[in-house]
Amino acid sequence: MDAGAIFSLIPAFAVGGGILYAILNSYWNAKTKWTGASSSTELRAALDANTASNTAVVARLGELDQRLSSVEKTLTDIP
């Protein structure tokens, strides 16, 4: 392999390395931000409140589904 071919590969490797560095850097920055956000007590409290609210909504929807099925049964039983 001649020197011209080797010197033409150097910029290609540099560009590839720069792209790889940018991808890995953004990955690690996002991972660090995610870890910092998950350890926040305010975020944990908000998530717990949201979970409790969603649980109450699901329970209420279950009750409404039971009532609706009894109404449907009554309507289908009427001759």
For residues 35 and 1, state if they share a domain.
Answer: yes
Question: 7-30: per-residue pLDDT in tens?
Answer: 888 888 899 999 999 999 999 888
For residues 48 and 79, state if they share a domain.
Answer: yes
37 with 43: CB under 8 angstroms?
A: yes
Residues 6+ apart with CB under 8 A from 43: 37
Question: 31-56: per-residue pLDDT in tens?
Answer: 877 666 556 788 788 889 999 999 99
Structural domains of the chain, count: 2
Domain containing residue 74: 41-79
